[in-house]
Amino acid sequence: QKEVEQDPGPLSVPEGAIVSLNCTYSNSAFQYFMWYRQYSRKGPELLMYTYSSGNKEDGRFTAQVDKSSKYISLFIRDSQPSDSATYLCAMIPTSGTYKYIFGTGTRLKVLA
């Protein structure tokens, strides 16, 4: 079993839709949770960063962490064609070398 599971998609939605992207994980030591966006042929860029359980909102993006279920989500409201990219979840444990563990990424396509 992988430490972090993420549906690879692809996920196609119409412009303006609410998008829900999810990851599950198995290591209860994960405390820091991130969402990265990766456009084609580019490096990942950080979108959202959350610590432990709860919600965090930034513009059209909301990150949600449910540690009891080992489940994190990223919601995108009013999705735009420019949101078309691969979304990677990443997690860091509280101890050790603080190594980022990435999910496989979900490919999202927002249709105009």
Partner 1 sequence: EAGVAQSPRYKIIEKRQSVAFWCNPISGHATLYWYQQILGQGPKLLIQFQNNGVVDDSQLPKDRFSAERLKGVDSTLKIQPAKLEDSAVYLCASSLGQGRANEAFFGQGTRLTVV
28 touches partner 1 by CB under 8 A: no
- Which of 68, 99 has the CB closer to partner 1? 99
Can you tell me which of 4, 21, 65, 74 binds partner 1, judged by CB under 8 A?
A: 4
Among 11, 32, 60, 109, binds partner 1 (CB under 8 A): 32
Which two three-digit tokens encode residue 35?
């969402």
41 in contact with partner 1 (CB under 8 A):
yes
As a whole number of angstroms, the distance between CA 89 and CA 79 comes to 18
Phi, psi of 82 (to 5 degrees): -70, -10
Compute how many other C-beta atoms are within 10 angstroms of the C-beta atom of residue 19: 19
State the number of binding residues for partner 1 (CB under 8 A). 26
